[in-house]
């Protein structure tokens, strides 16, 4: 099981990474949003994964607390950050129980996180607890437009349904709205802006790998046997319908950052 988790972590690192210039733009936006006065900023990322958000910030000299509940993700992250670990502390922990004292960090970063947590209000409360009085909560997400990939995902969903398993889509967007509403009820003022838009190429094979390794949240609740059978049929369907699985297609992406500063 450990090796399977590690393979999935490496697949995540390869298939969900940002191009260097995009990662740099995201890091710049986060740095500007934190802007601690008179102190060296300390950043905490919840669900750091393999470091696609963290590494450009660490390279810029930020003190970084990298939290994840998946030891395989942290192992890959640690290997990638080996040369810059002086200001990095790894936290193998759950975002709903952050092992830090109150008011200890200047920024909490959460990218594609809330929809992974059924009891997200607890994680949100923890994030706000560890923020300094003038600290900022930074939530990030992408919007992706790629017709071939959407077609593969929808076919996967149909095949899983034939296995007797229903798959919920759209939770990520609904959860973002719920979190924003919760922040506003606390008297806070979240502000969202588009940080960067870009285009990249992807192949059907890579899109299939992302499904096979369950790199999307909507795949997580499907029993392994049903998922394996669905993927076997999906590979065959893709080869018949799409032909060359290594022929790239264009993907349009946009990254958004929502900033909420404590008073």
For residue range 180-213, list pLDDT tens digits in order: 999 999 999 999 999 999 999 999 999 999 999 9
Angle between helices 147-162 and 204-212 (to 10 degrees): 40
164 pLDDT more than 60: yes
pLDDT in tens, 209-249: 999 999 998 998 899 999 999 999 999 999 999 999 999 99
Whole-number CA gyration radius for the chain = 19
pLDDT digits (tens, 9 = 90+) for 128-153: 999 999 999 999 999 999 999 999 99
The secondary element (H helix, E strand) that includes residue 199 is: strand 191-202
The stretch 68-95 carries a mean pLDDT of 93
pLDDT score for 261: 96
pTM: 0.93
Measured distance CA(195)–CA(199) in Å, rounded:
14
């Amino acid at each position: 099981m450990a090796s399977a988790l590690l393979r999935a972590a490496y697949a995540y690192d390869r298939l969900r990474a940002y191009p260097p210039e995009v990662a740099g733009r995201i890091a710049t936006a986060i740095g500007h949003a934190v802007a601690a006065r008179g102190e060296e900023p300390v950043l905490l990322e919840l669900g750091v994964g393999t470091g696609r958000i963290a590494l450009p910030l660490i390279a810029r000299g930020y003190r970084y607390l990298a939290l994840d509940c998946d030891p395989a993700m942290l192992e890959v992250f640690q290997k990638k950050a080996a040369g810059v670990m002086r200001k990095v502390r790894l936290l193998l922990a759950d975002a709903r129980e952050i092992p830090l004292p109150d008011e200890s960090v200047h920024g909490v970063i959460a990218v594609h996180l809330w929809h992974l947590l059924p009891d997200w209000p607890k994680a949100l409360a923890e994030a706000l607890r560890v923020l300094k009085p003038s600290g900022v909560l930074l939530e990030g997400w992408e919007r992706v437009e790629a017709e071939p990939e959407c077609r593969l995902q929808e076919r996967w969903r149909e095949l899983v349904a034939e296995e007797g398993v229903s798959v919920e889509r759209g939770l990520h967007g609904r959860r973002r709205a719920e979190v924003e509403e919760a922040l506003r009820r606390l008297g806070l003022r979240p502000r969202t802006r588009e940080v960067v838009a870009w285009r990249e190429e992807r192949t059907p094979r890579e899109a299939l790998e992302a499904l096979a390794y369950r790199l999307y949240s909507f795949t997580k609740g499907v029993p392994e046997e049903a998922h394996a059978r669905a993927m076997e049929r999906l590979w065959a369907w893709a080869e018949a319908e799409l032909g060359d699985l290594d022929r790239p297609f264009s993907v349009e992406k946009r990254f958004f950052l929502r900033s909420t500063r404590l008073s």
